[in-house]
Each structure stands twice: as structure tokens, then as C-alpha cells.
């Protein structure tokens, strides 16, 4: 289904725009929002430290929030601020599904995923630029 709205035609008719066609400022229809890219990521406090699994549509912003203690009590409590692993997905809904799967993994599987691409557990934030 495509969202097509001919605003010029609506204005010429001088009829009120149906409320179902109005979006509040900053809101995005759910179908459009789910078409955004998504990221699954792992944070840690240090090499071999506690891994934290998260999902977002804006990885740089979310990592900044973790770094500044915004939004996650777990990452604040365990000082998980180092981005050590991430995956990009074409759809945020797929990223959410993948995050749920990874959250069920044993700790060692998460460590194996990190060390497969980042054996020294370096902070990958500079790669986000």
C-alpha cells in the first residue's frame, strides 16, 4: 500500500482535511517507521566484561545515550559504554527479531560473536562517523 496525498487538491476543495490524514508533528506512520534501517549492537565495559545487547534505528545516537547514562539502567550500573559489535539490518523490525534471538544466547556465544570481528574488544564508535 502506498501513501499518496495530493495536498494541492485538498486545499483547492476548501474542505477540512480528514483527521485520519493528519499526522502530528514528528510522527511517522508505523508502516513507514518499520521500513527504517535497524542495528543490533553489543556494548561492554571492558574486554571480557558484561555484554549488553540492544537494538536501535540510530546507532550513533543510541551509543551516545549509553555513554551519557541515558535510557538504560543496566548499562549505567555495569558501565557498558564500549561498542564492541554491531549488525546493520535493512528493516528495524528484522533488527528487533535478531536482538530477541541474541538476548537468549549464552554469554559465551555473545563473546564468540564479538571476538570473531573484534578480538581485542576495541571501541567501534570511531567507525560510526
For residues 72 and 101, the model is more confident at: 101
Q: What is the percent of the chain with per-residue pLDDT over 70, rounded to a whole number? A: 73
pLDDT (tens digit, 9 = 90+) per residue, 19-66? 444 444 444 455 555 579 999 999 999 999 999 999 999 999 999 999
Q: Which of 66-80, 82-96, 110-124 has the lowest mean pLDDT?
A: 66-80
Residue 67 lies in a domain: yes
Residue 50 lies in a domain: yes
Residue 2 lies in a domain: no
How many C-alpha atoms does 55 have within 13 Å on its Cβ side? Answer: 17
Quote the pLDDT of residue 128: 84
Residue 46 lies in a domain: yes
Residue 18 lies in a domain: no
- Residues 52, 55, 56, 57, CA torsion sign: positive
Residue 94 lies in a domain: yes
Quote the pLDDT of residue 11: 37
Quote the pLDDT of residue 24: 43
In the predicted structure, residue 13 carries a pLDDT above the cut 80? no
- Domain holding 98, by residue range, is 37-128
Residue 3 lies in a domain: no
Quote the pLDDT of residue 127: 86
| Number of domains present in the structure of the chain | 1
pLDDT (tens digit, 9 = 90+) per residue, 110-120? 999 999 999 99
- For residues 59-87, b (16+ Cβ closer than 10 Å) or e, as one string? beebbebbbeeeebeebeebebbbbbbbb
Q: What is the CATH number of the domain that holds 75?
A: 3.40.1440.10
Predicted TM-score of the model (pTM): 0.73
Residue 21 lies in a domain: no
Amino acid at each position: 500500500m502506498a501513501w499518496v496525498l495530493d495536498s494541492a487538491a485538498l486545499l483547492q476543495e476548501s474542505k477540512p482535511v480528514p483527521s485520519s490524514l493528519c499526522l502530528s508533528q514528528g510522527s511517522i506512520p508505523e508502516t513507514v517507521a518499520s521500513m527504517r534501517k535497524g542495528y543490533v549492537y553489543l556494548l561492554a565495559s571492558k574486554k571480557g566484561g558484561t555484554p549488553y545487547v540492544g537494538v536501535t534505528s540510530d546507532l550513533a545516537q543510541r551509543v551516545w545515550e549509553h555513554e551519557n547514562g541515558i535510557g538504560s539502567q543496566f548499562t549505567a550500573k555495569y558501565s557498558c559504554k564500549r561498542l564492541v559489535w554491531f549488525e546493520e539490518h535493512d528493516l528495524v523490525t528484522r533488527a528487533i527479531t535478531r536482538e530477541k534471538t541474541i538476548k537468549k544466547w549464552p554469554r559465551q556465544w555473545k563473546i564468540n560473536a564479538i571476538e570473531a570481528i573484534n578480538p581485542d574488544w576495541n571501541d567501534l564508535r570511531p567507525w560510526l562517523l
